[in-house]
Amino acid sequence: MSNVKLAVIYYSSTGTNYKLAQWAEEAAKEAGAEVKLVRVEELAPKAAIASNPAWEKHMEETKDVPTVTLGDLEWADAYLFSIPTRFGNVPAQMKQFLDTTGGLWFNGKLANKVVSAMSSASNAHGGQEQTVLALYTTMMHWGAIIAAPGYTDQSAFTSGGNPYGTSVTVDQEGNMVEDVEAAVKHQAKRTVQVAEAVKNGLQ
């Protein structure tokens, strides 16, 4: 019985979702998974990035993180996404990558993959839940299996209570308002656990 292969796929402009992805990577490895931490390619114009020192700094700090490929999707048994909200929707950078997956989808390569997602926003009601649900819409088209955290751990009640996927509010200084580390790690371990059950059941 081989270990679950998990791709932790994130987009982050100033670092919040990168941190969430790192916590998820750590927990998934503790759960016995083989993990790839990868980012989607930045598409924003240089002028926009340069206008925000935190954005520019984060890009430089994470330039060596591998960029996600379609091969990563085919390799993995499960995916854990972490993305900020953009007007209650998926960021263009992530959406552009998802829009390149048609060939894999057409050939059934994305069916039965286990998926879970996390998000962030600068306002507690700024679209965090909707962003996770918008991402899941694509996954349902793939035929993927959603492993939402629900309320399967006490950490859900101390991290904001989002049952669809852990989410966090970020203040104007870039600090996380809620304490979500435990919730992220539980969600990652749960995703691995569900993926193990699916993988073993299909063998």
Task: Tell me which residue has tokens 């309320």.
Answer: 151
**Burial (Cβ within 10 Å: 0-12, 13-18, ≥19) of residue 45:** exposed
Tell me which residue of 142, 202, 195, 203 sits closest to 28, measured CA to CA: 195
How many structural domains comprise the chain?
1
Task: Determine the pLDDT at residue 192.
Answer: 98
Q: What is the pLDDT of residues 42-71, one digit of tens each?
A: 999 999 999 999 999 999 999 999 999 999
Residues of the chain with confidence (pLDDT) below 70: 1, 203
Q: How far apart are the first and last CA of the chain?
A: 9
Report the pLDDT value the prediction gives residue 173, as an integer from 0 to 100.
84
Contact 40, 94 (CB under 8 A): yes
Distance (Å, rounded) from C-alpha 154 to C-alpha 10? 25
Q: What is the C-alpha separation between 139 and 30, in angstroms, rounded?
A: 26
Q: Which CATH number does the domain housing residue 117 bear?
A: 3.40.50.360
Domain span at residue 56 reads: 5-202
Would residue 108 be called left, alpha or beta, if left means φ above 0 and alpha means ψ between -120 and 50 degrees? left
In the structure encoding, which two tokens stand for residue 119, read together? 């998000």
